[in-house]
Structure 1
């Protein structure tokens, strides 16, 4: 079967954080609601009623309340959002043989070939209904021949919508849409394209690929393909077992707690940076300890999805304190992050101030330029 004959469904939970809060408190339904930090924080999520006033994610809270002063503001509960994300994942995993968890609230399912046994559009509709029935969360979906079209179409029919883009209609579907609707076209690229007189995807599709390549490099060639509705990106099967880990075997067995804590901080920061570099968050932390007699013990804990060092460090320290109970010499310490999900720091927006987010971004920028060890916490020295 050719790639362009695939059947790909993109499912996106509507205003996920807000929907969870409305489940917990029905009084929030139909009202402007903002999930975010305090006065110095930023907006993590907002209801469609708040969006009507111009409020959007990552906006400073002061600006959001200026635009929508009558909005209800709540801090949010990261643990609840992670739990509901896992519930939806379980429903999809039980119904679909292959799916990709693209973020905490976004999924792709590959239903290619299912029409031989079952009506694919009907199955998609039933899956949407099942997710709502078993979790209470509304979801929007689009069925198309590739991930690109299904994602764009989903965004076009939100909230609580559904649509099908038939095979062969990809290019005509995209044609009238504004260039900003195309994934990978950010503000900078959109400005450059509009300066070239390109306002719609139709116009973009008519520009020779060689010209776009000369102007935007490899991204220009990909833009040309996407504007013509072509996307061969596969659905990557979701696996809870994917992980990032590191461990250290010491030259000399040790009982120096201060040294062990420093090593734990250093290793956690190291793979925390790797996590953010891969644009992922973790939902499970494991600490491993090997004593001098080669006895090896581990402890793990499920946590709200995060990539924040201060959360990961606290969790790792708590696990280590529970593990190290023999007062014997230690030969090895290791740490692993698993249950990895694509996502970015905005998942923790409601938990931190704008300054904290900017601090992480600045630190990671330095590490990208000069190496992961360029900036470390003092206690890791």
Structure 2
């Protein structure tokens, strides 16, 4: 039985949220991101894209390509809320949904064609999102996640495309290999140098040859070029999280030491978050007192993976929780409501220096180990 997988993706999501708030931006070249010479483009309107502007482009280059573009720092809090709006609408109406990132979802409608025409139902879902949120969205429907995502990319903006099983290969073959999800720039250059620029050409390469050239990733790309993708839909769950806790050698009421410890703990889990290419939208703090009473408090936050934001929120939760002035035995930090994403989007509200600092520290951790660098205030912790 063929699968029926829907890939739904917001059109220029962050820009669309800004346009919903300020309709005067509609039809204009809008860029979200830092506007300084060190800034990068995090998102841009389709009008801006006509000038060759794209995500991750240096802001300085974007200004040169489109001097009259409107630069906005953006508001991650608003984008997070809009993302939750869309997820809520979809998850109430489908049997199985995966939140793949802040602005895209996969939906498994396999077997539901007996009760609903999958294309008709996908169309109704899209119309519902547009009506209730006022935000544009596109979708692709096909036999697996790879083809449905590629279908979405081909029909954006504001489009719908159904690629049924017999049409998968004819749909894929003429496309550039650039269109394959997960194929990076270095791989593109390597394949292009060998004359492999179209998906059809890639699909004809022998497994042994592509494996020798690109390793396991080559086999995965070859399968995608043939329209094969067995990756499952991973059910969306708010409980998905990462965290850590620490029990003291002796119960303590040393607030300075505890806050320094929380800083070190948050930096550890934030590094794990970035390693997994995830963002979180909820921070939970747990305190266990010496009499084994546990108290917990959590807070929703804009999607982030930056140390500075998470440390500040964790300390704020600590001040709210620590009211009894009793000895503390244990503290725990957990980051939840995770989605796939990159820390760059936090540049909207955080200084570029903070982002650069996280990148530099992560590079040191990769080279010398996860505990090779720390903030000075956490260096003398003895637990």
TM range (shorter): over 0.9
| 1:230-283 alpha-carbon deviations (Å, 9 max, x no partner) | 111111110001111111111100111111011101110111111111111110
Matches of residues 215-294 of structure 1 in structure 2 within 5 Å?
Answer: 215-294=213-292
- Whether the aligned pair in 1 keeps the contact of 2:277 and 2:342 (CA below 8 Å) is yes
Aligned 1:68-107 pairs, distance under 5 A: 68-107=66-105
Q: How far did 1:116 drift? A: 1.0
Find the counterpart in structure 1 of residue 148 from structure 2: 150
3-state SS in 2 of match to 1:84: helix
**TM-aligned CA deviation for residue 110 of structure 1:** 0.2
Matched with 2:370 is 372
User: Following the alignment from structure 1 to structure 2, what is the Cα–Cα distance between the partners of residues 263 and 203?
Assistant: 55
Q: Which residue of 2 aligns with 1:66?
A: 64
Distance 1:325 1:174 in 2: 61
> Aligned runs of 1:182-201 on 2, under 5 Å?
182-201=180-199
Q: Secondary structure at the match of 1:237?
A: coil
Aligned partners of 1:49 and 1:38: how far apart in 2?
18
Q: Which stretch shifts more, 353-362 or 224-233?
A: 353-362
8 Å Cα contact 2:308-2:354 kept in structure 1: no
| In 1: Cα distance, 2:59 partner to 2:350 partner | 12
For residues 53 and 143 of structure 1, the distance between their equivalents in structure 2, rounded to whole angstroms, comes to 30
- Secondary structure of 1:305 counterpart: strand
| Structure 1 residues 294-313: aligned runs within 5 Å | 294-313=292-311
| Alpha-carbon contact 1:53-1:68 (below 8 Å) kept | yes
Number of residue pairs aligned between Structure 1 and Structure 2: 378
Work out whether 1:50 is the aligned partner of 2:48. Answer: yes
Task: Choose from 23, 26, 43 the match for 2:23.
Answer: 26
Report the secondary structure of 2:318's partner residue: helix
Cα deviation, residue 352, structure 1: 4.1
Distance 2:375 2:52 in 1: 39
8 A Cα contact 1:6 1:145, kept in partner? yes
CA contact (8 A) 1:9 1:142 kept: yes
Contact 1:88-1:135 within 8 A present in 2 as well: yes
Q: Partners in 2 of 1:185 and 1:38 — Cα distance?
A: 29
What is the aligned partner in structure 2 of residue 7 from structure 1?
A: 4
Please give the alpha-carbon distance, in whole angstroms, between the structure 1 residues aligned to 2:365 and 2:256: 25
Counterpart secondary structure, 1:169: helix
SS in 1 for 2:344: helix
Q: Report matched runs for 1:319-330 at 5 Å.
A: 319-330=317-328
Unaligned runs of 5+ in 1: none
Q: How does 1:336-351 map to 2 (within 5 A)?
A: 336-351=334-349
Distance 1:347 1:354 in 2: 11
SS, match of residue 95 in structure 1: coil
**SS where residue 168 of structure 1 aligns?**
helix
**RMSD, aligned CA:** 1.2
Distance in 2 of aligned mates of 1:293 and 1:132: 52
